[in-house]
Structure 1
Amino acid sequence: MVKKHGKKQRAKKRQDRTGAAYSSAAAGTTHTHTPLPDLSALPLVPHGSWRVLDLDLAARLVAACRAGCQPCQQTLITKMVKEKRATLAALAGAVYGTLPTVGFVASEATRQWAPLARTAMQAGTGEEAFAAVDAMDEAAATALLNDALDHWAMGDGPVLAEAVRKVAEGASRRGTADPMDAFREAGMKVFTLDDLDLGDVDTYHLAPNYGVTLMKTTTPDDQPMPMLVLYPETENAGIEDLEARTDWEHWGLHGMPDMDPHWRVRARIADRSLQGLVHVGPDGEDDIELWRAAETVSLPEHWWDLLDRAQHVLVAGPVKETDHQALQAAGDAGELLAVIARVSFH
C-alpha cells in the first residue's frame, strides 16, 4: 500500500509539473517538445510585481504550439487558465503590450484587454492589466491566451523578447516607449496601414456577418415593438461568435432584454431603409459591425411607422431559419441572445 501510494504521489507531481494527463504521468509516457524557447524576458512584462511566473509551463506551452501538438496544448492551456493567470498575463502582455494593433481576427476578450497591456508596458506597472485577466471567466481567458499563442507559435519569440526588453528599458528611462521602434530595432520589418497607403480599409468582411429578418413583438405592457432577428450569413457566424463579440443576454422570449444605447440600428429616412447594425465604441466610432445592408430595400410602411414611433428595436439571434418556429426553438434551447438597440435615423 505504501509503495502504491508513493507511486501515485510521484505521478501526481509529474502531472503537476508537466501538465500531462494523469494516466500519461502515471504510465511514464509524457513527452516534451524541444527545443524549449527562451522566455527569460517574460518577467520584464508588467504582470504584478510580487507574482511569480511559471516560465517552465510557459515554455512547454509555446513549444507545444510550435509543434502543433493538440493534446499538450489543450492540457497546458487548461492548466494555465485555471492556475497561472499571472503567467497568462505575461505571455499575452509580451504580444499585445508591444504590438500596435490586435489584428482583425482577435477575439473580443483580446480587443478589450489589449489597451490595458499597452498601457502597462508603457507605464511599467501591470496591476490593472493583471486584475482584468484575473477577473476573466475561463472562456475569455482561454480566448486571450489562444490569440497570444498564435503569435508565439509563428516563431516570433526572439523578436517579441527583444521588443519586450527594449520597451521595458525605454519605459524605465523615459516613462514611455514606442513599441514600433522596438520591433524595428529588433530587426523586424513593420508596416502600418499608412505605410501601405491602402486608404480606408473595410474590415467588415473579415469578420463573421449576419443577415436580418423583420419581425414584430410586444412589450410587457402590450405595446408593439419592431424586432430584427439575426441569422448566420458567413462561416463562423453563430451563437459562439455573438457570445464572444457582444455582451447580449440570453433571452427566452419572455420579458424584455436589456437596452444598450451603444448598439445602433441605422436607418435612412430618404428611402425608408435599414443600413446596418453596429456597436459604437467610447470614441464614437463603430467598433463592431454585425450586419450591413447589401442593397437598399425600402421597408414596409407599417414597419417603418412602428420603427419611427418606438425609436428602439429588439435585436435577437442567431436562428437557423428565418421563421417564428426557429426563433422559438432557439429560445427554448437557451441559444438566443438579445438586446434592445437604439435607432439612429439619418
Structure 2
Amino acid sequence: MVKKHGKKQRARQKSRRTGAAYASASAGTTHEHTPLPDMAVLEDLPHHSGRKLDTELAARLVAACHAQCRPCQKTLARKLRTEQRPTLVALAAAIYGTLPTPGFIASSTTKEWAPLARAGKTDPAAAAAALAAVEAMDDASASDLLEDTLDHWAMVNADPAQITETVKVVHDAPPRQRPANPMDAFRAAGVKVFTLDDLDLGDDVDRYHLQANYGVYVGATNTPDGQDFPMLTLYPETEDAGIEDLERRTDWEHWGLHGMPDMDPRWRLRARIADRSLQGLVHVDAHGRDDIELWRASETVSMPDAWWDLLDRAQHALIVGPSEPEALQDTADEGKLLAVVARVSFV
C-alpha cells in the first residue's frame, strides 16, 4: 500500500511538473514536442508587471500547438489558465500588442482586452491593467483569450530567432512600409510628372483599365472555429498586377493560411441579388465613394446556390491574393500572400 501510494504521489508531482495528464504521468507515457522554443524572451514584455513567468510551460504549450497535439494542448492550457495567469498575459500580449485589431472572429473577451495589450507597450499603467484584467477573468473568459492567442502562436515558426522577433515587435513595431512610388524618382530628378488627378479629367475617363487588374476564383474556407466561410482568390490579369501592386494600393496584411486576417469594412465585395452574381471588389473612402477598384466582372455569372447562400449568411468574404488557388500554400510560405476580410454589399 505504501509503495502504491508513493507511486501515485510521484505521478501527481510529475503531472504538476510537466503539465501532462495524470494518467499519462502514472503510466510513464508523457512525451515532449521538440524542439522546444525559447520563450524566456517573454520576460522582456512589460505586461506581466514583474511577476514570475513559467516560460517552460509556455514553450511546451506553443510546441504542442505546432505539433497539433490536442491532448497536450488541453492539459497544458488548463494548467496555464488556472495556475499561471501572468504567463497567459505575456503570451497574449506578445500577439495582441502587435495587432491593430484582434480581428472580427476573435472572442468578445479578446476584443475587450486587446486595447490594453496595445497600450501596455508604452504605458506601465495599461500593462498593469492588462494583467489585472486577466487575473480577474473567470475560467471561460480566460479560455477564450488563450484559445484566440494560441491560434496566432500556431502560425509563428518555433525557431528561437522567430520567437524572439515576435516578442521584440511588441516594443517597437515599425509601420508597414509601402513600396516606393517609381514616380518619386522622376520628381526628385526634376522631371515634371502628371497623374490622372493632375489632368482633372473628371468622371469621363474610366480609370479601371488604366491600372492593374485582377481576376477572381470563387471558393470557400473554414474559420478557426470550423465554420464555412466564402473566399475569393485574386490572380494577376495584367502584367503590372501582383504583390507589389497590392502592397502599394492596399493595407492588407501578409497572411500564412492560419487563423483569419482582420476585417476592413471599407473593402466591399459587391453582389447583385437579381441574378446572384458578383459585380466587383472595391474600396470606399470615408464618404462612401469608390477610391480603389481591384476587380470588375466582365460578364454576368450566377454563383452556385450553395455558395451564394453561404455568402448571404456570412455577409463577409475572405479575399486573398495574388495567387493561383493551387499555389496558395507556396505563395504564403514565400511571404507573398496578402489577405483581408471584406464586407459583402448586396445590390
* Of 100-109 and 138-147, the range deviating more from structure 2: 100-109
Amino acid across the alignment from 1:152? W
Q: TM-score, normalised by structure 1?
A: 0.50
CA contact under 8 A between 2:62 and 2:154: conserved in structure 1?
yes
Q: How far, CA to CA, are the matches of 2:60 and 2:28 in structure 1?
A: 17
Equivalent residues in 2 for 1:68-83, closer than 5 Å: 68-83=68-83
Equivalent residues in 2 for 1:46-125, closer than 5 Å: 46-124=46-124
CA contact under 8 A between 1:12 and 1:22: conserved in structure 2?
yes
Q: How far, CA to CA, are the matches of 2:163 and 2:175 in structure 1?
A: 11
Do residues 137 (structure 1) and 138 (structure 2) align? yes
**Given the alignment, which residue of 197, 200, 210 partners 2:266?**
200
CA contact under 8 A between 2:157 and 2:163: conserved in structure 1?
yes
| CA 14–179 in structure 1, closer or farther in 2 if over 3 Å, else same | farther
Deviation string 1:73-121 (CA, Å, 9 cap, x unpaired) is 1111111111111110000000001222222321111111110001111
Q: How far, CA to CA, are the matches of 1:16 and 1:131 in structure 2?
A: 25
Identity of aligned residues (%): 52
CA contact under 8 A between 2:33 and 2:60: conserved in structure 1?
yes
Do residues 28 (structure 1) and 28 (structure 2) align? yes
CA contact under 8 A between 1:80 and 1:87: conserved in structure 2?
yes
| CA 137–41 in structure 1, closer or farther in 2 if over 3 Å, else same | same
Amino acid across the alignment from 1:144? L
Equivalent residues in 2 for 1:169-180, closer than 5 Å: 170=172, 178=173, 180=175
Segments of structure 1 that go 5 or more residues without pairing to the other structure are 171-177, 183-188, 206-232, 238-291, 296-346
| CA 140–8 in structure 1, closer or farther in 2 if over 3 Å, else same | same
Give SS of 1:201's match.
Answer: strand
C-alpha deviation, 1:47, in angstroms: 2.9
Amino acid across the alignment from 1:149? L
C-alpha deviation, 1:155, in angstroms: 2.6
Equivalent residues in 2 for 1:1-346, closer than 5 Å: 1-124=1-124, 126-156=127-157, 158-159=161-162, 161-165=164-168, 167-168=170-171, 170=172, 178=173, 180=175, 194-196=250-252, 200-201=266-267
Q: How far, CA to CA, are the matches of 1:192 and 1:8 in structure 2?
A: 62
Amino acid across the alignment from 2:151? D
| CA 166–69 in structure 1, closer or farther in 2 if over 3 Å, else same | closer
| CA 202–54 in structure 1, closer or farther in 2 if over 3 Å, else same | farther
Q: TM-score, normalised by structure 2?
A: 0.50
Give SS of 1:122's match.
Answer: coil
Q: How far, CA to CA, are the matches of 2:122 and 2:85 in structure 1?
A: 21
Q: How far, CA to CA, are the matches of 1:191 and 1:104 in structure 2?
A: 22
Deviation string 1:46-77 (CA, Å, 9 cap, x unpaired) is 23334111111111110111000111111111
Q: How far, CA to CA, are the matches of 2:247 and 2:143 in structure 1?
A: 29
Deviation string 1:205-235 (CA, Å, 9 cap, x unpaired) is 9xxxxxxxxxxxxxxxxxxxxxxxxxxx979
CA contact under 8 A between 2:33 and 2:63: conserved in structure 1?
yes
CA contact under 8 A between 2:86 and 2:131: conserved in structure 1?
yes
Amino acid across the alignment from 2:251? D
Give SS of 2:46's match.
Answer: coil
C-alpha deviation, 1:199, in angstroms: 8.3
Match of 2:217 in 1: none
Q: How far, CA to CA, are the matches of 1:146 and 1:86 in structure 2?
A: 16
Give SS of 1:33's match.
Answer: coil
